[in-house]
Amino acid sequence: MSDDILTRASVPAPANAPANAPSADRPAPASSRQPVRAAVARAAELARDAEERARKRQHVKGKRTARERLDLLLDTGSFEEVGRFAGGDIAAGTPGAAVITGFGEVWGRKVAVYAQDFSVRGGTLGRAEGEKICRLMDRAIELKVPIVALIDSGGARIQEGVAALTEYGHIFRRTCRASGFVPQISLILGPCAGGAVYCPALTDVIVMTRENSNMFVTGPDVVKAATGETVSMEDLGGGRVHNAVSGVAHYLGEDEADAIDYARTLLAYLPSSADEMPPRYAYAATRADRDTAARLASVVPDNDRQPYDVLEVIRCIVDYGEFVQVQELFAGSAVVGFACVDGRPIGVVANQPNVNAGILDVDSSEKVARFVRLCDAFNLPVVTLVDTPGYKPGAAQEHAGIIRRGAKVIYAYGNAQVPLVTVILRKAFGGAYIVMGSKAIGADVNYAWPTSQIAVLGAEGAVNIIHRKDLQKARETGRDVDALRARLVADYQASTVNANLSLETGQIDAMIDPEQTRGAIADALRLLERKRRVRHTTKHHGNQPL
Whether 194 is catalytic is yes
CA distance 115 to 134: 13
CB 267 within 8 A of CB 291: no
Pairing of strands 334-341, 324-326: antiparallel
Pick the catalytic residue: 122, 195, 430, 461?
195
How far apart (Å, rounded) are the C-alpha atoms in residues 424 and 509? 11
Span 276-310, pLDDT tens digits:
999 999 998 888 888 888 899 899 998 888 999 99
pLDDT mean across residues, the chain: 88
pLDDT digits (tens, 9 = 90+) for 381-422: 999 999 999 999 999 999 999 999 999 999 999 999 999 999
pLDDT at 137 over 50: yes
> Which of 77, 145, 140, 87 has the alpha carbon at shortest distance from 116?
87
For the segment 307-360, what is each residue's pLDDT rounded down to a tens digit?
A: 999 999 999 999 999 999 999 999 999 999 999 999 999 999 999 999 999 999
- Give the pLDDT confidence of 43-68 residue by residue, as tens digits: 677 778 677 887 888 888 888 999 99
Among the options 431, 461, 474, 519, which is catalytic? 431
Please report, rounded to a whole number, the percentage of residues in the chain having pLDDT higher than 70: 88
Taking only the tens place, the pLDDT of each residue in 489-521 is 777 766 666 666 667 677 899 999 999 999 999
The number of helices, as runs of H, and strands, as runs of E, in the chain is 21, 17
Q: Can you give the pLDDT at residue 469?
A: 80
User: What is the identity of the amino acid at 345?
Assistant: P
Residue 104 annotated to the active site: no
What is the reported pLDDT for 8?
Answer: 36
Choice among 54, 331, 432, 455 that is catalytic: 432
pLDDT of residue 14: 44
pLDDT at residue number 315:
96
pLDDT at 251 over 50: yes
**CA separation for the pair 177, 28 (Å, rounded):** 53
Instruction: Give the pLDDT confidence score for residue 30 in this predicted structure.
Output: 52
Q: What pLDDT, on the 0 to 100 scale, is given for residue 500? A: 67
Closest CA to 524 of 384, 375, 377, 419: 419
d(CA 133, CA 60): 28
Which of the two residues, 481 and 203, has the higher pLDDT score? 203
Q: Which domains can be identified in the chain, with CATH numbers?
A: 39-269 (3.90.226.10), 287-456+497-528 (3.90.226.10), 459-496 (no CATH)
DSSP characters for 213-280? -EEESS-HHHHHHHH-----HHHHHBHHHHHHTS---SEEESSHHHHHHHHHHHHHHS-SSTTSPPP-
> How do beta strands 99-106 and 80-82 pair?
antiparallel
Nearest to 446 by CA among 528, 335, 373: 528
Q: If phi over 0 gives left and psi between -120 and 50 gives alpha, with beta otherwise, what is residue 34?
A: beta
Q: Which of 194, 337, 358, 437 is catalytic?
A: 194
Of the two residues 535 and 4, the one the predictor is more confident about is 535
Q: Is 195 a catalytic residue?
A: yes
Based on the residue annotation, tell me whether 432 is a catalytic residue of this protein.
Answer: yes
